[in-house]
Amino acid sequence: MNQTRRNVLRVLGVAGVAGVAGCTTGGSDGSDGETTTESEETTEGGSSGESWEQASTVEMTDDLAYAPKRIEVSKGTTVTWENVGSIGHTITAYEDEIPDDASYFASGGFDSQSAASDGYPDEGNVKEGESYEYTFETKGTYKYYCIPHEMNGMVGYVKVV
């Protein structure tokens, strides 16, 4: 019985340490919980290990993800975000994470990140079966997120070339 008790305690101890370690990612600094650095997010080749996919349609899923997460499009391309899941999502640009001369974009037609946050959930929520479109006219890298699921890591990127 002692041997069994020790094994149980050993397993519980390892599980407890792993659980506590998981609590240390994505702190209270407002980050999205990802461990990528700024240079990884903006590197042309997507050095974070995630590749840039040539696509103009992004699916929003019940897995709280944009699929694909990183897309590359030509200037003038209209990107369509389609909600293929059963829960609502938003497309909300980070104002500080779009090219300086680019227009702001967010589902609901907001002209700023704070307006989009203030308007949700009454406006900007893309429900099941609905979609949102935006035409990218300025070259550069854009980072966006889903307001209710940002803390779950629902973040995406568009690179306009």
Q: Which domains does the chain have, with CATH numbers?
A: 2-160 (2.60.40.420)
Model pTM score? 0.71
Please write the tens of the pLDDT for every residue from 10-59. Answer: 444 444 434 434 433 333 344 333 333 333 344 444 334 489 999 999 99
Which residues 6+ apart lie within 8 Å of 63 measured at CB? 85
User: How many Cβ atoms from other residues are within 10 Å of residue 151's Cβ?
Assistant: 13
Show the tokens assigned to 77: 């391309």
pLDDT at position 72: 98
Element (H, E) at 117: helix 113-119
CA dihedral (22, 34, 154, 94) positive or negative: positive
Q: What is the mean pLDDT of residues 85-105?
A: 98
The Cα–Cα gap between 51 and 133 comes to 23
pLDDT-wise least confident of 46-50, 116-120, 143-147, 157-161: 46-50
Residue at 54: amino acid letter: Q
